[in-house]
Amino acid sequence: MGCTRAVICSQPEVAKAILNSSAFADRPIKESAYQLMFDRAIGFAPYSEYWKNLRRIAALHLFSARRISAFESHRQALTNSMLESIELLAQSQPNSSVKIRGILQKTSLNNIMGSVFGRSYSFGCGDSESEELASMVKEGYDLLGIFNWADHLPLLGFLDLQGIRRRCSDLVPRVYAFVQNIIEEHRASPANRDKGDSDFVDVLLSLQGTEKLSDSDMVAVLWEMIFRGTDTVAILLEWILARLILHPDIQAKIHEELDSVVGNTRQLTESDIPKLHYLQAVVKEVLRIHPPGPLLSWARRSIHDVHVGGHLIPAGTTAYVNMWSITHDEKIWEDPLSFKPDRFLPSAGGVDVNIMGSDLRLAPFGSGRRACPGKALGLQTVHTWLARMLHHFQWLPSQDHPVDLTEVLRLSCEMKAPLYAKPIKRNTVPFQ
């Protein structure tokens, strides 16, 4: 690909060999990622002691089961406001049809801002700080998602024909000012960690000795979390709702499951989720049929020569795993183009595939040492929000904007046309 030596694989065994090999522990160099400081954050940092240290800190203080469950009340409070705004919006529209994407994105951004920065924002209310945050996230997401010719044809880099370098240079000082301001506020009033009210900024500020991070490294790490954690969750939920609107029989089965596990006299809690087997199978089937990172976000780079599947792959080669092709391969999945959550339910003759990285037939969070560290948090958020959205509403198609499943590949694989849906309230359990 241009001057980049690349291999692409579409078989689970080869994908496993690549993603789990210590040789493929680096990411390819991407100009926009470096310009946006991500080489000092987990996702693009070269394989090094620095990267290992960041992963260890994040695993312990942001992604551990204890931290995830400590933030349940935060996730639930956000769900309450999300459901309330969906209800209000539906009432104010002539056909009760609501554009879902913006609501999911804002809730998802607030979710990450709460757990990482201890902050909450009111988007769309004219608050300048919130507007600045939303606009920076959008710009950064666009910049990382653009296919940059200069990554593969270095001579073009000088010309900056796509304007990527200029846009990155405009964005970085804004990000720096925004995140640095939050860091300073945390410095000025440190959290009482004994009371458990600390967020990830407090954690980073408390690091000492060899773990201590410079301010610019902290900005990079914190900024990356906003990126990685926001759109992944929102995009997946939009796909799931789209599928459930197109398959009302499947939606009805989730409603049945919710009625039997939760009933209609109390609010759903996260302790209910492990009992919602069908809902979890639906999430898996959406991850299979619309894998969020079908190709590009999976790229790895070999740090030394290595043999894979009998072929020599030289150091510096970029390896792509074509997850879309694997999850649509009829030799691996029966009737791969059909949406059938039952394929994951042993009680319906299916197989309970582990999606956390051990089975490369479906590994939406990657695999090996660079697998997604936010996978448990991401899945918990998706399961909780989805379950609550379905517990509260029945979702019907919008008359004016039919569901369109056309995909577009940006940083993730997204729905090209935003989803509109008509929510019908189905229970009156008060929000707590």
**Two tokens, residue 274:** 């492990």
Taking CB under 6 A as the criterion, the residue among 233, 261, 268, 279 binding ligand HEM is: 233
Q: Which residues have C-beta within 8 Å of that of residue 2, sequence separation ≥ 6?
A: 149, 151, 152, 153
Strands 300-301 and 318-321: antiparallel
Radius of gyration of the chain (CA): 22
* Contact map string, positions 40 to 79, toward ligand HEM, x by CB under 6 A: --xx-----------x------------------------
Site string for ligand HEM, 182-221 (x = CB under 6 A): ----------------------------------------
Tell me the per-residue interface mask from 249 to 288 with ligand HEM, x by CB under 6 A, - otherwise: ----------------------------------------
Q: Considering the rule CB under 6 A, would residue 377 count as an interface residue with ligand HEM?
A: yes
From the list 177, 156, 144, the residue with the least C-alpha distance to 44 is: 144
H helical segments located in 36-127: 49-61, 65-70, 72-92, 100-112
Q: Is 28 helix (H, G, I), strand (E, B) or coil?
A: coil
- Compute the distance between CA of residue 293 and CA of residue 414 in angstroms, rounded to an integer: 10
Q: How far is the CB of 340 from ligand HEM (least distance, A)?
A: 21
423 contacts ligand HEM (rule: CB under 6 A): no
Q: Which stretch binds ligand HEM (CB under 6 A): 153-161, 202-210, 304-312, 363-371?
A: 363-371
CB of 96 to ligand HEM, least distance (A): 28
Phi then psi for residue 394, to 5 deg, are: -100, 140
Which is closer to ligand HEM, CB of 26 or CB of 257? Answer: 26
Binding residues: 372
Q: State how beta strands 6-9 and 318-321 pair.
A: parallel
Of positions 242, 374, 415, 421, contacts ligand HEM by CB under 6 A:
374
**In the complex, least distance from residue 363 CB atom to ligand HEM, rounded to whole angstroms:** 8
d(CA 227, CA 209): 28
The angle formed by the CA atoms of residues 14, 15 and 20, to the nearest 5 degrees, is 105
Q: What is the 3-state composition of the chain as percent helix, strand, coil, each rounded to the nearest 5? A: 55, 10, 35
Residue closer to ligand HEM (CB basis): 198 or 232: 232
Asked if 292 interacts with ligand HEM (CB under 6 A), we say yes
User: Taking Cα atoms as reference points, which of 29, 147, 108, 169 lies closest to residue 384?
Assistant: 108
Q: Which two tokens stand for residue 404?
A: 């369109």
What's the rounded Cα separation, in Å, for the pair 317 and 6? 5
Residue from 32, 110, 148, 232 touching ligand HEM (CB under 6 A): that is 232
State in angstroms the smallest separation of the CB of 87 from ligand HEM. 25
Nearest to 147 by CA among 162, 128, 125: 162
Q: Applying CB under 6 A, which of residues 28, 114, 229, 341 lies at the interface with ligand HEM? A: 229
Q: Should residue 298 be labelled a site residue for ligand HEM when binding is judged by CB under 6 A? A: yes
As given in the structure block, the two tokens for residue 137 are 């996230």
> Closest CB to ligand HEM belongs to which residue?
366
What does the DSSP 8-state code read for residue 309? T
Choose between 232 and 317: whose C-beta lies nearer to ligand HEM.
232
**Quick one: 97 or 230, whose CB is closer to ligand HEM?**
230
**CA torsion, ordered 356, 359, 361, 366, to nearest 10 deg:** 40
355 binds ligand HEM (CB under 6 A): no
State yes or no: residue 419 binds ligand HEM (CB under 6 A).
Answer: no
CB of 171 to ligand HEM, least distance (A): 19
Binders of ligand HEM among residues 97 to 136 (CB under 6 A) are 112
Asked if 236 interacts with ligand HEM (CB under 6 A), we say yes
Give alpha helix (H) positions in 113-214: 128-145, 164-188, 200-206
Q: By C-beta, is 230 or 398 nearer to ligand HEM?
A: 230
Structure tokens at 353: 């595939």
The site for ligand HEM (CB under 6 A) is made up of 19, 42-43, 55, 112, 224-225, 228-229, 232-233, 236, 292-293, 297-298, 364-368, 370-374, 377-378, 382
